[in-house]
Amino acid sequence: MAPVYLAVVGLGGVGKAFLSQLATLQLGSIAKPTVIFASRSSKQLYNKDFSAIDASTLDSSCSPILSLPDLTKWLADAPGKVILVDNTSNQDVADTYPSFLKKGISVVTPNKKAFSSSLQLWNDIFSSSSPSALVYHESSVGAGLPVISTLKDLVATGDQITKIQGVFSGTMSFLFNTFAPVTGSGSGKWSEIVSQAKDAGYTEPDPRDDLNGMDVARKCTILARLAGLEVEGPDSFPVQSLIPKALESASSASEFMQKLPEHDQEMESYKEDAAKQGKVVRFVASVDVQNNKVSVGLEMVEKDSPIAALKGSDNIFVFHTKRYSSSPLVVQGSGAGGEVTAMGVSADLIKAIERLS
């Protein structure tokens, strides 16, 4: 059995969690893969003879920096099958996936930019894959939740997807579950809850990166494409930003947070309008396959709906299909965080190794 080598790009939160899980992978009779390359920002670690490395020593590495084309060429010469594990959100790395695949290097990644950027890149990636150069990206949507695998199974077995909707962001889930719960009036003003979420690490360091809706739009793009829609990109359909227009030009995250309380009434109005109808407001993603429509934004939902009943920062993905018409198929749980994202990456790695072995 030919050895399997790993090149691990990105050793931040997800990357570190992945390496920890790699040490305990359950592969049965299949030999564990050998890590031969690791990188983080401006550091790389590898041995020219493809011998194993200790990724924990990356910071003290003196290995010369390989460009992405040089890395592709070097990995293609390895004496076995190679899997690139990209734990970054780097567009340049994503753009190189077709080149890796054409050289027989498989790709396992949570990098959603690879699958939500141009439709051309999407097509190039999958036209470059083969039985010996695989692509797995479960964690690009919903972290470790079985969202992509579920959708692929539905499509592959001939079910007809009519609609996919839900709350695809842990940040948005926490914000609205706290701001407009099914029972009670909420735990404070909108700006206070955004600040609370930021302090708890539920948002990016600059909350605008979550509030602009683009993270959710990227996930919608991926699911829409897998469901059969040729969506050009996350900017090709309506995406409602929760950044007040007056604050779009804020020079920093601190300025944005300082001025956000001035716009609390805008969000309060949404909540009050929903309450008058006996509903709650949520930030909902929708992929309407039947009508070829994709949208992201605020919606008023019934209090007894699965979307309204979410707790904490959970994600929910509701699949309406021909088979699941009377009662939709629901995937729900934690959709963010280093450990659960790394779990999705590790599970994909096992699948890739099993297919390559």
Catalytic residues: 219
For the beta carbon of residue 26, count every other beta carbon within 10 angstroms: 7
All residues at 6 or more sequence positions from 4 whose CB lies less than 8 Å from its CB, including other chains: 31, 33, 34, 80, 81, 82, 83, 353, 356, 357
8 Å CB contact between 194 and 261:
no
Residue 71 to residue 86: CA distance in whole angstroms: 13
Q: Look up residue 224 and give its two tokens.
A: 């829409």
Residue 211 to residue 106: CA distance in whole angstroms: 34
Buried b / exposed e along 276-297 (16+ C-beta atoms within 10 A): eeebbbbbbbbbbbeeeebbbb
Residue 218, SS3?
helix
Residue 85, SS3?
strand
Parallel, antiparallel or unpaired: strands 135-136 and 34-40: unpaired
**Would you list the DSSP string of 107-154?**
EE---THHHHS-HHHHHHHHHH-BTTB-EE-GGGTTTTSSSHHHHHHH
Q: Look up residue 199 and give its two tokens.
A: 């302090």
**Would you list the DSSP string of 298-312?**
EEEEETTSTTTT--T
Q: Which residue has the tokens 């890796």?
A: 100
Nearest to 41 by CA among 9, 86, 75: 9
All residues at 6 or more sequence positions from 340 whose CB lies less than 8 Å from its CB, including other chains: 143, 144, 145, 334
- The burial of 150, by beta-carbon neighbours within 10 Å (0-12 exposed, 13-18 middle, 19 or more buried), is given as middle
Nearest to 111 by CA among 92, 127, 133: 92
